[in-house]
Structure 1
Amino acid sequence: MSTTEPRTGQSTDRPAAENTGENLLEVRGLQKHFPIRQGIIFQRQVGAVRAVDGIDFSVGPGESLGLVGESGCGKSTTGRLITRLLEPTGGSVVFDGEDITHRSPGRMQEARRNLQMIFQDPYSSLNPRHTVGTIIETPMRLNGINPPQGHKKRAQELLETVGLNPEHYNRYPNEFSGGQRQRIGIARALALRPKLIVADEPVSALDVSIQAQVVNLLQDLQREFGIAFVFIAHDLAVVRHFSERVAVMYLGKIVEVAGRESLYTRPRHPYTHALLSAVPEADPDAVKRRERIRLAGDVPSPIDPPSGCRFRTRCWKAQDRCATEEPPLARAEGSPTGHLTACHFPEEPTVAAREEDIVLDPALG
């Protein structure tokens, strides 16, 4: 079954982005295999790390899609494939109606005017030798964008938009805290007024109180400018607060995609159920009521993933069929439209996590 079923939970209170098709981003069969080579002079490939191994998803204009999963599941690699910072091994990426999978670096510059990225580490993603003004102005200069008010004025306006003082224009990154540096990275991503931003763990390196500020800032910017987001994170509470739809990854595969409320209150894949059972609780009574699922064993190696369903080696519902047949990402019986699960024996909604058991950080509203 195709994963392009109608999206759920999409907000209608923001301006629509221009797009000739229904979806702004279409990812089909996307793969990234990193070769493993042996030898010093004469090298030969002896295997490959299957970081991303055939995934499908889409993002509509102005929509936010959360991409979650354990560390090493392929989330960040997926973000870099979408923005073509990494070359895909296979599959396709169609952005704004055009296939950008094999575009030359020169032609990719055109696409990147509407496709930007916010990086995970606010300390290494900013050039320490450049001033804040130069960092924000550079994308505009490289793309030949000359604002009527000038580059400096535009950069100062962007600083003000992300909650920084325009007078910070001449300062250097080492003069700012982590949260302020991430705001500078956001201002840089906004400089070209993109249609889509890939946010790769944008708050994972920040303190909890600063996380809330940055997430709420991104949400405000999304509403104001109609920007679509691929929001990569491992914090399920943050993803629920920000994203309208959520895709769950495990070992290079997407195992479940659904609207936010459908996935958090009625997860169908056992792995999603286990992730939600591990969300921290502030209420001791809720902790007692919750069924805590502890997965057995370690995550298998992406060099030699299990046959069939990749989660079967840690799944309490695994049967013989799971070892021989890979489950398709499809709508399970009893699931709402748009809720897709890659499982031969999906969880019943009655045993899934209950909404009252999912507690958000109060700072995230």
Structure 2
Amino acid sequence: MSTTQTSTLRTEDRDDRPSRGNLLEVRSLRKHFPIRQGIVFQRQIGAVHAVDGIDFSVGPGQSLGLVGESGCGKSTTGRLVTRLLEPTAGSIVFDGEDITHQPPARMRQARRNLQMIFQDPYSSLNPRHTVGTIIETPMKLNGINPEQGHKRRAQELLETVGLNPEHYNRYPNEFSGGQRQRIGIARALALRPKLIVADEPVSALDVSIQAQVVNLLQDLQREFGIAFVFIAHDLAVVRHFCERVAVMYLGKIVEVADRETLYTRPRHPYTHALLSAVPEADPDATERRERIRLAGDVPSPIDPPSGCRFRTRCWKAQDRCASEEPPLVRLGGSSAGHLTACHFPEAPTVAARDQDIVLDPALTGQADS
């Protein structure tokens, strides 16, 4: 275990510094949900620090994965990026325009290029509308009139996501969970967006259906050049789909790197713990790899720990971790795009072998025909 100290905070060490080539720029983003007391005369007695100062960027056609335990702020981040939630502080620049506090009328224009796929395929579709109406509505609201007409365009989108175009007049309750998620994807594609925020799009689906949906999203990304912010718990799926991965813990990003670097040479202890918990298909590999079991529970976001938020569960924590918050910087021995927020990071050696993380055969295209 290395105790390499963080390097001097130069501009080039910081995470994803602003670039004209980036489609999405998120800087110092925060979302605090106030806790109020009283019925008639309410007063704020605290706040839930759901997202507490994060920075990341996504280039055109790129995919960024957000991973972490439940409650770490991943879904809140996705809703902030799409402005379904109002940020407490920070900035969101999308396609060269600051949308942090844009009024609804201006946001409607931005959402033509910024769409979201929701986690629950059952509650995200209006049960009183037909599939055709669900897919056509975004086009009608944005004044988009395809030459072939709205109906034909909706049928084409159904075919694109692997559904029968003749199901245009059916209702959501007539479809399975995987089929409903495909309808949600078709709705997100209706406006030909530049960026899609996918909030755990396969977590509610069966394993076999998960592989189909992930492969579908990957095909659509290649065909249309769509950028993705992909939120997920499944580290194998994230490795298969995303080019870069950001690890979140209690409202903070603690590590970000390209997928191969993060999965084979993680520097943050929390990332090591997450990777050690990935299920193994090979019993012998399970015995070879040491499982890191974190002590205690995730602290409350109402009163997060001082300094490093992971210190209360970290086996490497020292006094400095309680008094000083570690910045997200490039450490000695790391590649230029590999950033970690830790005072006492792991050594930059190979910590996880390729065979340690086993992908479903359907994800790799090696499934039996």
Per the TM superposition, whether the score is higher than 0.5 is yes
CA contact (8 A) 2:14 2:330 kept: no
CA contact (8 A) 1:5 1:337 kept: no
Letter matched to residue 343 of structure 2: H
Q: Hey, what's the Cα distance between the residues in 2 that align with 1:358 and 1:268?
A: 17
CA contact (8 A) 2:264 2:350 kept: no
Q: Hey, what's the Cα distance between the residues in 1 that align with 2:321 and 2:301?
A: 18
Mapped pair 1:3 → 2:15: yes
Q: Hey, what's the Cα distance between the residues in 2 that align with 1:231 and 1:36?
A: 29
1:6-41 Cα offsets, whole Å, 9 max, x none, are 9xxxxxxxxxxxxx9310000000000000011111
Letter matched to residue 2 of structure 1: R
Q: Hey, what's the Cα distance between the residues in 2 that align with 1:186 and 1:259?
A: 26
CA contact (8 A) 2:14 2:339 kept: no
Alignment of 1:303-342 (within 5 A): 303-342=302-341
Letter matched to residue 26 of structure 2: V
> Displacement, 1:219?
0.2
Letter matched to residue 154 of structure 2: A
1:61 maps to 60
Question: How has the CA–CA distance of structure 1 residues 158 and 147 changed in structure 2, closer, same or farther, with 3 Å as cutoff?
Answer: same
2:191 maps to 192
Residue segments in structure 2 that go unaligned for 5+ positions in a row: 1-12, 365-369
1:91 maps to 90
1:302-344 Cα offsets, whole Å, 9 max, x none, are 0000000000000001111100000000011111110000001
- SS at structure 1 position matched to 2:349: helix
2:10 maps to none
Mapped pair 1:161 → 2:138: no
Letter matched to residue 232 of structure 1: I
1:150 maps to 149
1:108-129 Cα offsets, whole Å, 9 max, x none, are 0000000000000000000000
Q: Hey, what's the Cα distance between the residues in 1 that align with 2:350 and 2:257?
A: 17
> Displacement, 1:223?
0.1
1:343 maps to 342
CA contact (8 A) 1:21 1:96 kept: no
2:179 maps to 180
Letter matched to residue 247 of structure 2: V
2:268 maps to 269
1:175-227 Cα offsets, whole Å, 9 max, x none, are 00000000000000000000000000000000000000000000000000000
2:227 maps to 228
Letter matched to residue 297 of structure 1: G
Letter matched to residue 273 of structure 1: H
Q: Hey, what's the Cα distance between the residues in 2 that align with 1:353 and 1:309?
A: 24
> Displacement, 1:360?
1.5
Letter matched to residue 314 of structure 1: R
Letter matched to residue 83 of structure 2: R
> Displacement, 1:2?
2.3
Computed over aligned residues only, the root mean square deviation of the Cα atoms, in angstroms, reads 1.1
Structure 1: 4+ residue segments shifted above 2 A? 349-356
Alignment of 1:71-110 (within 5 A): 71-110=70-109
1:30 maps to 29
Q: Hey, what's the Cα distance between the residues in 1 that align with 2:252 and 2:352?
A: 22
Letter matched to residue 348 of structure 2: P
1:9 maps to none
Question: How has the CA–CA distance of structure 1 residues 340 and 309 changed in structure 2, closer, same or farther, with 3 Å as cutoff?
Answer: same
1:356 maps to 355
Question: How has the CA–CA distance of structure 1 residues 161 and 351 changed in structure 2, closer, same or farther, with 3 Å as cutoff?
Answer: closer
1:13 maps to none
> Displacement, 1:54?
0.3
> Displacement, 1:356?
2.6
CA contact (8 A) 1:266 1:354 kept: no
- SS at structure 2 position matched to 1:237: helix
Moved more, 177-186 or 330-339: 330-339
2:238 maps to 239
> Displacement, 1:5?
6.0
1:126 maps to 125
> Displacement, 1:350?
2.8
Letter matched to residue 171 of structure 1: R
Q: Hey, what's the Cα distance between the residues in 1 that align with 2:168 and 2:162?
A: 13
Q: Hey, what's the Cα distance between the residues in 1 that align with 2:56 and 2:214?
A: 23
- SS at structure 1 position matched to 2:65: strand
**TM-score with structure 2 length normalisation?**
0.94
Letter matched to residue 165 of structure 1: N
Q: Hey, what's the Cα distance between the residues in 1 that align with 2:17 and 2:101?
A: 27
1:289 maps to 288
> Displacement, 1:358?
1.8
CA contact (8 A) 1:248 1:256 kept: yes
Q: Hey, what's the Cα distance between the residues in 2 that align with 1:40 and 1:153?
A: 52
- SS at structure 1 position matched to 2:196: strand
1:252-300 Cα offsets, whole Å, 9 max, x none, are 0000000000000000000000000000001011111101100000000
- SS at structure 1 position matched to 2:48: strand
- SS at structure 1 position matched to 2:263: helix
Letter matched to residue 42 of structure 1: F
Mapped pair 1:43 → 2:42: yes
Q: Hey, what's the Cα distance between the residues in 2 that align with 1:257 and 1:325?
A: 20
Letter matched to residue 106 of structure 1: A
- SS at structure 2 position matched to 1:331: coil
